[in-house]
Structure 1
């Protein structure tokens, strides 16, 4: 079984457990399965975001500077 197939099957098993018993307070889940299910969302500011917002500039010496606004 490939990783994606395993992760999908494991996610379905978790969803099935929750559907069968919605009052369960917690279900132990492998971190890889939780990540596949979207549990770990990265909200950090990335380089692409900074460039897209035009906050990076290059000075006369060729140094890249971040301008906080």
Structure 2
């Protein structure tokens, strides 16, 4: 079984367990938890910084995208 198939199967198994008994504690492999979206990436990337630099707020508090050339 390939890694992605394993992760999907493990995620389905966990979801089924929690559906049947929502109050139980299910220990997860960190890779399975990551696959299920437990860990979010909060770091900012250069593309976000550039996009934010192109946003401005006008006098009516509207956010505008200003493409600069």
TM superposition shift of 1:53? 1.6
Q: TM-score, normalised by structure 1?
A: 0.70
Alpha-carbon distance in 1 for matches of 2:23, 2:39: 23
Question: Please, what TM-score do these two structures have when normalized by structure 2?
Answer: 0.70
- State the shift of 1:54 in Å: 2.1
* Equivalent position of 2:18 in the other structure: 18
Over residues 5-54 of structure 1, what are the superposed CA-to-partner deviations in whole Å (9 max), with x where a residue is unaligned? 00000000100110111111x21000000000000011222111111222
Q: What is the root-mean-square deviation of aligned Cα atoms in Å?
A: 1.4
Segments of 5+ residues of structure 1 without an aligned counterpart are 56-69
Partner of residue 54, structure 1: 53
The count of corresponding residues between Structure 1 and Structure 2 is 54
Q: Any runs of at least 4 consecutive aligned residues in structure 1 with deviations exceeding 2 A, and if so which?
A: none
